Chains A and B, each alone.
Chain A
Amino acid sequence: DAGVIQSPRHEVTEMGQEVTLRCKPISGHDYLFWYRQTMMQGLELLVYFNNKAVMDDSGMPKDRFSAKMPNASFSTLKIQPSEPRDSAVYFCASRSSREQFFGPGTRLTVL
């Protein structure tokens, strides 16, 4: 298996633009998580899905962030409009038998 796949690996955009981050979980994993890592806040859970349904999005700013999982093999995290404070590394992870497998992350820079 290729592991959790994230795209793009790097994204540079300007404030106000829409950004879409993509994730393909490991086949057969029914939980998917989105985390954000910053120097100031560390690793924070934004949202997670079970069988494509949102289980908890309490960590996600609702005014500009949205997360979807239209099928078992694909998820998106969208930021609209983006702001400089959204600059971070965004990780996607999928879960099997109590272990989460992390993707390589998307480094987002908002200028």
Chain B
Amino acid sequence: AQSVTQLGSHVSVSEGALVLLRCNYSSSVPPYLFWYVQYPNQGLQLLLKYTSAATLVKGINGFEAEFKKSETSFHLTKPSAHMSDAAEYFCAVSDRSSYKLIFGSGTRLLVRP
């Protein structure tokens, strides 16, 4: 069975500081991995995805994530936080035969002025 663990339900950073949101996955098969962002009262928007090409994946809005098989991690980073980055972020995993997404519990990012 696949699962995703997001460490930290809330992360608070100052504007301009590094953003690091943690995600660890469990999968018995090579996974596909995703990060989604959800703004208040909106649906989920894909930030980036890993599908077995480059291990460092670049996404929208300056975000990137690195797939580390040895650590079973897929942490999301952004060098400099903007106020507009305040939202909830979800890590998700799926296997390569099914298209079901298994989501983590989410991390709410707060950006302080």
Contact = CB atoms under 8 A, between A and B. Distances in A.
Interface string B1-21: 000000000000000000000
Contacts of A102: 36, 43-45
26 contacts: A31-B99, A33-B101, A42-B103, A42-B104, A42-B105, A42-B106, A43-B90, A43-B103, A43-B106, A45-B102, A48-B99, A48-B100, A56-B100, A91-B44, A95-B99, A98-B49, A99-B46, A100-B46, A100-B99, A100-B101, A101-B46, A102-B36, A102-B43, A102-B44, A102-B45, A104-B41
Interface in B80-113: 90, 98-106
Interface residues of A, number: 19
B51 interface: yes
A25 interface: no
Interface of B: 32, 36, 41-46, 49, 51, 90, 98-106
Contacts, number: 44
Nearest to B90: A43
Interface string A14-41: 0000000000000000010100000000
Interface of A: 4, 31, 33, 42-43, 45, 48, 56, 91, 93, 95, 98-105
Contact of A103 (B41, B43, B101): B43
Contacts of B90: 43
A105 B43 contact: yes
B106 A91 contact: no
A31 B106 CA distance: 24
A91 B44 CA distance: 9
A56 B106 contact: no
Most-contacted residue by chain A among B32, B90, B100 (CB, 10 A): B100
A41 to B, nearest CB: 9
B101 A56 contact: no
